[in-house]
């Protein structure tokens, strides 16, 4: 059995290594607040998932992912695997020390380390929904906390990840510009979405970009679903039609303000599950920044309501959380 209440999982390479550099600051903050903890460093891909899955069995009540969106995604997958095995599922906590911290922005988690530590110390939690995507390289499914991107924004993320000397917001801006130059043609897709009442909506069209969101933001600055909530049992849709380069450039500007719903060639909605199929072209897909496929043909995406508890600020503090959640990554 664990001797400590909190398991802190720190990904030392998150934020291009900046997370590891903050280890002394993290430990000093934990001790100053009297937080009972055990700290473990992750050593590779999926290690955070393995630690999170085993945490309940070891007696930890809270699992804290210290890193960026990739670290949080692994923690979520570990907790969901424990849930699927009817094992004890600890509460999730987050220390936002990555580059993008998009998950934190949409989950009422601060983007500032000291404020995150205050949230951990306060111990206030609420239920959180989790998304599940099956298809591509994950026919058995993978869970996500923030969102799934299909098409343009996934290609932008892949291009941003290739940049070695530019990070954060500017990497995504340059990635977007490069993607606009490459600008692959839009695949023909069919989306079948089921709402909370069981009614089905069908959208069949060529589409350059589809986002299915549990959170609000992607890429550190693109508000794909500014009104989304990760505790309503639904996932928000933002779907663009086949657009010219100029139209997409104008739409990207709208994404930075979260005003795309007003655009005549954008479809939005809120549904509990989605089926996405490409009859021509191919689906380039990510979930929380993790590649799902680069030439997929079909996906099944669904919301798992109230999957587990998350430590966060009260909802009436969300505006304050938004102000300090502008830094982040994996």
CATH number of the domain at 296, please.
2.60.200.40
Establish if 190 belongs to a structural domain.
yes
Residue 186 makes CB contacts below 8 A (sequence gap 6+) with 151, 206, 207, 208, 241, 242, 243, 281
Return d(Cα 153, Cα 108) in angstroms, integer: 23
Establish if 108 belongs to a structural domain.
yes
Return d(Cα 68, Cα 161) in angstroms, integer: 14
Structural domain span for residue 223: 132-306
Return d(Cα 55, Cα 9) in angstroms, integer: 10
Q: Is the CB of residue 95 less than 8 Å from the CB of residue 66?
A: yes
DSSP state of 90: P
* pTM confidence score: 0.92
Q: Provide the CATH number for the domain around residue 39.
A: 3.40.50.10330
- Both tokens of 127, joined, read 């239920």
Taking only the tens of pLDDT, the chain with its 330 residues reads 455 799 999 999 998 889 999 999 999 999 999 999 999 999 999 999 999 999 999 999 999 999 999 999 999 999 999 999 999 999 999 999 998 799 999 999 999 999 999 999 999 999 999 999 999 999 999 999 999 999 998 998 888 878 877 777 778 778 888 999 989 999 999 999 999 999 999 999 999 999 999 999 998 889 999 999 999 999 999 999 999 999 999 998 999 999 999 999 999 999 999 999 999 889 999 999 999 999 999 999 999 999 999 999 987 664 444 444 444 444
Structural domains in the chain (count): 2
pLDDT at 316: 67
pLDDT at 2: 52
Q: Do residues 153 and 284 both lie within one domain?
A: yes
Residue 92, classed as helix, strand or coil, is strand
Q: Do residues 278 and 136 both lie within one domain?
A: yes
Residue 187 makes CB contacts below 8 A (sequence gap 6+) with 151, 206, 207, 278, 280, 281, 282, 283
pLDDT at 190: 98
Establish if 20 belongs to a structural domain.
yes
Establish if 12 belongs to a structural domain.
yes
Establish if 328 belongs to a structural domain.
no
Q: Do residues 228 and 98 both lie within one domain?
A: no
């Amino acid at each position: 059995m664990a001797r400590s209440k909190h398991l802190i999982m720190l990904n030392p390479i998150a934020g291009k290594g900046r997370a590891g550099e903050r280890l002394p600051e993290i430990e000093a903050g934990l001790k100053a607040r009297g937080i009972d903890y055990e700290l473990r460093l992750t050593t590779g891909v999926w290690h955070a998932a393995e630690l999170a899955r085993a945490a309940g069995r070891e007696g930890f009540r809270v699992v804290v992912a210290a890193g960026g969106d990739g670290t949080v995604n692994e923690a979520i997958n570990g907790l969901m695997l424990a849930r699927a095995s009817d094992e004890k599922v600890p509460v999730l906590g987050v220390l936002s020390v990555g580059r993008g911290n998009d998950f934190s922005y949409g989950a009422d988690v601060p983007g500032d380390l000291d404020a995150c530590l205050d949230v951990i110390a306060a111990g206030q939690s609420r239920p959180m929904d989790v998304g599940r995507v099956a298809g591509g390289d994950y026919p058995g499914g993978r869970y996500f906390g923030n969102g799934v991107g299909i098409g343009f924004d996934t290609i932008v993320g892949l291009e941003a990840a290739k940049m070695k000397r530019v990070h954060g917001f500017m990497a995504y801006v340059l990635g977007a510009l490069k993607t606009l130059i490459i600008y692959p043609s839009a695949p023909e897709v069919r989306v079948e979405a089921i709402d909370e009442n069981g009614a089905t909506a069908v959208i069949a069209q060529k589409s350059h970009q589809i986002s299915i969101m549990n959170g609000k933001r992607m890429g550190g600055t693109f508000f794909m679903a500014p009104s989304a909530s990760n505790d309503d049992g639904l996932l928000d849709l933002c779907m663009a039609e086949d657009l010219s380069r100029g139209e997409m450039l104008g739409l990207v500007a709208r994404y930075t303000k979260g005003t795309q719903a007003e655009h005549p060639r954008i479809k939005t909605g809120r549904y509990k599950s989605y089926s996405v199929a490409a009859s021509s072209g191919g689906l380039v897909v990510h979930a929380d920044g993790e590649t799902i496929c680069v030439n997929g043909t079909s996906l099944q995406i669904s919301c798992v309501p109230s999957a587990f508890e998350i430590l966060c600020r009260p909802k009436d503090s969300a505006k304050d959380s938004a102000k300090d959640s502008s830094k982040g990554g994996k």
